Amino acid sequence: MRRAVRAAAMLLTASVTAGMLSGCDAARATVSRVVDGDTVDVVVDGREQRIRLLNIDTPETVHPDEDVQCLGPEAAAHLRSLLPAGTEVEVLVDEETTDRYDRVLAGIRLDDGRLVNAEMARAGLALPMQVGANDRFLPEVEQAHAEAVAAGRGLYDPEIGCTVPGQVTAVEAAATGLATPAGAGTAEQADTAAAGAAAVAATALALHSALSSDAPRDGLVWAAVRDRDDRPAMAQRARTAAGTAEDRADGHRATARELRTPPPPPAPTTSPRPTTGSTGGTASAPRQSPATRQRPRPAPAPAPEVRDSGSSGGSGGPPGYTGPRCYAPGGKTWTPC
């Protein structure tokens, strides 16, 4: 029944497919060129047809309204490696055979039996997708995609910086690699280090917010982690990295403030007066002002000793004489002086 429906659909769209399939769901074709990760041109019966691979979605590279997405060039390159120009392939359609761009919706199988649609998912370069009733190749694609997730390939590779796991790894490495505040030599260097740490913190916080929110985000890299069980763990890793970077920024700001604060003036000290003269030696007495300086007084001369020679001492002086006396040698007799 399913095959009959496909055949009828193909007959109805024969003008679009230009006789590529005539009442059946498969045709031989030759690859002419790869357009991007999920689009390829083939030649059937001398006429070129554009094929859009069913049940996969790959990062954009040639969309007129979108930038080149993460791993878009890698997806196109991988499809070229699977479908070099001149490769003979089998083209298989499903319920709906064309899209609004008049591309043939199909799967491409190689002569060795591999489904190219599934091989793109197995490399981690395509996500499973179903549009309308076309689900013919979805089981093979989903199984291959599960292998890519388990192996961490492509959109799930933590070593590729543009993937979400890669972004988490990058902010962790950036936060742990920040310089410590003790390494700043000047206030300007500390300011620069603080600004760098703050930027890392802001990036990590934005990543944490995106991983914690259920709001849809553009890009296949975010679609790849939308339903992953480890998304909360990745969000927590981003928050931890943000905390580390914030601590570093605060430390550098404090260092900059310290480097800009002038040191306190030295405490006043009392210098002792020199205890020696200019020529050294013994200590000199404190100097006195001329007003307080006193001249030494001369010692009084000793009074001449008066000795009484008595009445029998000779006739050296009148009796009762008390004036000055001049003694003769030997000091026994005297005369008035």
pLDDT at 299: 58
pLDDT at 182: 79
pLDDT over 70 for what percent of the chain? 74
HEC readout, the chain: CHHHHHHHHHHHCHHHHCCCCCCCCEEEEEEEEEEECCEEEEEECCEEEEEEECCEECCCCCCCCCCCCCCHHHHHHHHHHHCCCCCEEEEEEEEEEECCCCCEEEEEECCCCCEHHHHHHHCCCCEECCECCECCCHHHHHHHHHHHHHHCCHHHCCCCCCCHHHHHHHHHHHHHCCCCHHHCCCHHHHHHHHHHHHHHHHHHHHHHHHHHCCCCCCCHHHHHHCCCCCHHHHHHHHHHHHHHHHHHHHHHHHHHHHHHCCCCCCCCCCCCCCCCCCCCCCCCCCCCCCCCCCCCCCCCCCCCCCCCCCHHHCCCCCCCCCCCEEECCCCCCEEEC
Tokens 């802001």 belong to which residue? 202
> What are the residue numbers of the active site?
52, 60, 103
Residue 36 confidence (pLDDT) above 50: yes
pLDDT at 275: 60
97-115 residue pLDDT tens: 999 999 999 999 999 999 9
Residue 12 confidence (pLDDT) above 70: no
Q: Which of 56-65, 109-118, 171-180 has the lowest mean pLDDT?
A: 56-65
235-289 residue pLDDT tens: 999 999 999 999 999 999 999 999 998 878 888 777 666 665 555 555 555 555 5
State pTM to two decimals.
Answer: 0.70
182-237 residue pLDDT tens: 766 899 999 999 999 999 999 999 999 999 998 888 889 999 999 899 999 999 99
Residue 9 confidence (pLDDT) above 80: no
pLDDT at 317: 55
Q: How far apart are CA 82 and CA 117, in angstroms?
A: 10
Average pLDDT over residues 9-28: 54
pLDDT at 295: 59
Say which residue, 329 or 231, is predicted with more confidence: 231
Residue 73 confidence (pLDDT) above 80: yes
118-132 residue pLDDT tens: 999 999 999 999 999
pLDDT at 301: 54
Give the pLDDT band (50/70/90) at residue 23.
very low
- Contacts with 276 (C-beta within 8 Å, 6 or more apart), sequence order: 282, 283, 284
Residue 181 confidence (pLDDT) above 90: no
Average pLDDT over residues 302-325: 55
Bridge partners of residue 134, in order along the sequence: 131
Q: Which of 9-13, 35-39, 113-117, 208-212 has the lowest mean pLDDT?
A: 9-13
Helix pair 187-212, 164-176: axis angle to 10 deg:
150
Give the pLDDT band (50/70/90) at residue 298.
low
Q: How far apart are CA 279 and CA 319, in angstroms?
A: 66
Q: How far apart are CA 290 and CA 69, in angstroms?
A: 99
The per-residue pLDDT of the chain, averaged, comes to 83
Say which residue, 155 or 263, is predicted with more confidence: 155
Two structure tokens written together for 64? 């007129």
